[in-house]
Amino acid sequence: MNVVIIGGGIAGLSAAYQLHHIAPELTLTLVEASAQWGGKIATEHVDGFLIESGPDCFLSRKPHGIALCESLGIADQLIGRDPDHAKTFVLRDGRLHPLPSGLTGMIPTQLDALTNSSLLSAEGIAHVTQEPTLPPRPGSDDESVASFISRRLGREAFDHLVEPLMGGICAGQADQLSLAAMFPQLRRLEQEHGSLLKGLNLQQPAPAPLYPPFVSFKNGMQTLVDALVGQLTGVDLRLNVAVTHVDPIERGYLLQLSGPKAEPLHAEAVIITTPAFVSSQLLSTLDAEWAATLLDIPYASTALVNLAFDEADLPVLDGYGYLIPRIEQREALACTWTSRKWRDRAPSTTLLLRVYVGRYDQTDVTQYEDDRLLDIARDEIRSTLQIDTPPLFHRIIRYPNALPQYNMGHLDRIDSVNCRLAQHPGLFMAGAMFNGVGIPDCIASGETAATHVLQYLRSH
Ligand X SMILES: Cc1cc2nc3c(=O)[nH]c(=O)nc-3n(C[C@H](O)[C@H](O)[C@H](O)COP(=O)(O)OP(=O)(O)OC[C@H]3O[C@@H](n4cnc5c(N)ncnc54)[C@H](O)[C@@H]3O)c2cc1C
Number of residues that bind ligand X (CB under 6 A): 36
Chain-centre distance for alpha carbon 364: 18
Q: In angstroms, give the least distance from the CB of 249 to ligand X.
A: 19
Q: Nearest Cα to 281, choosing from 335, 244, 239?
A: 244
Per CB under 6 A, 55 contacts ligand X: yes
Rounded CA gap, 8 and 37, in Å?
A: 5
Which C-beta is closer to ligand X: that of 197 or that of 442? 442
Rounded CA gap, 364 and 375, in Å?
A: 16
Q: Nearest Cα to 157, choosing from 204, 196, 203, 198?
A: 196
Per CB under 6 A, 40 contacts ligand X: yes
Rounded CA gap, 293 and 282, in Å?
A: 13
**What is the Cα Rg of the chain in Å?**
23
Which C-beta is closer to ligand X: that of 96 or that of 243? 243
Per CB under 6 A, the list member of 3, 4, 5, 7 interacting with ligand X is 7
Which C-beta is closer to ligand X: that of 307 or that of 437? 437
Q: In angstroms, give the least distance from the CB of 281 to ligand X.
A: 7
Q: In angstroms, give the least distance from the CB of 81 to ligand X.
A: 12
Q: In angstroms, give the least distance from the CB of 300 to ligand X.
A: 9
Strand-pair category, 78-79 with 214-217:
antiparallel
Per CB under 6 A, the list member of 432, 444, 449, 450 interacting with ligand X is 432
Per CB under 6 A, 243 contacts ligand X: yes
Per CB under 6 A, 298 contacts ligand X: no
Per CB under 6 A, 54 contacts ligand X: yes
Rounded CA gap, 373 and 358, in Å?
A: 10
Beta strands in 144-297 (DSSP E): 214-217, 236-238, 243-249, 252-257, 265-267, 269-272
Which C-beta is closer to ligand X: that of 9 or that of 252? 9
Q: Restricting to residues 247-276, which ones interact with ligand X according to CB under 6 A?
A: 273-275
Per CB under 6 A, 11 contacts ligand X: yes
Per CB under 6 A, 358 contacts ligand X: no
Rounded CA gap, 259 and 4, in Å?
A: 18
What sign does the CA torsion over 150, 151, 152, 154 have?
A: positive
Per CB under 6 A, 41 contacts ligand X: yes
Tell me which residues touch ligand X (CB under 6 A).
6-12, 31-34, 39-41, 54-58, 242-243, 273-275, 278, 302, 304, 399, 402-403, 431-432, 437-439, 442
